[in-house]
Structure 1
Amino acid sequence: MRNAPFRRFCESHATRLQITPLHRLQGWGLLAIMLWLPGLGGALKQSMLTHMGVQVSLLVVAGYGLGRALLAHSPEYLETARRHRWSLMLIAVFTLMVWMLPRLLDLAVDRHEVDLLKVLSLVLCAGLPLAWAWPQLPVVTQGVLHLEALATLWRMGWLYLDSPSRLCLSYGLADQHSLGQGLMAAGLVYALWLAFTVLRGQAVPLQTPHVNTPLPRMH
């Protein structure tokens, strides 16, 4: 066939460009570094909405991707994740709650060492533990955590909208209200996604293990 050489060329290069777990580790790590560097990181910290709503969220996503890639690269860590799933989940939740405090956002803007601590903790103490613990949790626990995350988005959004004074000294009242509106909108999208998932009859968790149990023989 006339296209056979071209097809062989494409297949050989596709094999060479195959993304491995090590490539994913490097990619997620590069994303975290880019979010911290003064260029992109400094631009995202100009607004309260992009600071908490974009940079903080993307750092958690980078940590989650890093954690999944690490498990794919080193499957021996899977047993550790299963054994310590509750501790890992508590660490992730506590870290996320800490970086939703307005005072810490101020410190991250004013002091470089606090900003570096923010990046490292959100990647390594929030996103990565979440990636390791979440698939190991029972379905009911995952559902409860989904509802709690939704309620937290709306609580924080209402707090930023309703407060008559600035909660962050580094940002104006208009920035604070924009963040509140963004959190309320994110909560609405999250609620619609949860409702859509439930109505489709699928499980709410991000990942559930499949277990094939043989049916008992009838004698």
Structure 2
Amino acid sequence: MSSRGQPIYDWWSRHQSLFDVLYVIAFLGRESEFRNRAIEALSLDAGEQVLELGCGPGNSFEALRTRVGDGGRVVGIDYSTGMTERAQARICDGDWNNVHVVRGDATKPGVEDATFDAVYASMSLSAMPDPKSTLNAAHRALRPGGRIVVLDARPFQEFPWTLLNPVMVPLSRWTTNWFPEENILDALDSRFGTTRVTEFNGGTIFIATARKPTQKGTPE
């Protein structure tokens, strides 16, 4: 995250109700639907390990933990001190001993290579100035055959929605440290190969799924 991003998300961590309203606007009232779709796309099984990049206040922890069960593990990482504190409080409230949160840089998550079955990034990559390095780190963290799911936003792609971009883009930059010039989908394709993409709300919201090859040089 950029030096500007940390204080922005520290501020949002102290104003959770406003943060919730922000996402209602961003998802045009379909937040729960899109988040559920993205988590389902991970296809998690009991006992698996999942790494969440840019976990924020831990909104996804309960859903992820439910899917991996008591024998699995959920690890969230976020650069914001305020967000990680809120995420830790959520873990304590849930009394989840197999869910962990770490304050750190998603480009250097500090996890062992080939450890995780799945990586999840929800509305986080586009708030990072170097998503390519983050995806490289995700690729290293995944076991062969592991999958990554990205739920994120970009400027509107379809007319007449595109008429909103002159207002939406600068506002989103200011409120969320957004980097709309970064092409997350191209970066996914470059690192993982074929990426499946589903678009919503005039193309501004997307869910992208990719998989790490089972062997080096072996097609998916």
Specify if TM > 0.5.
Answer: no
Give the helix-richer structure, 1 or 2.
1
State which structure, 1 or 2, has the greater radius of gyration over its C-alpha atoms. Answer: 1
Tell me the TM-score normalised to structure 1 length.
0.27
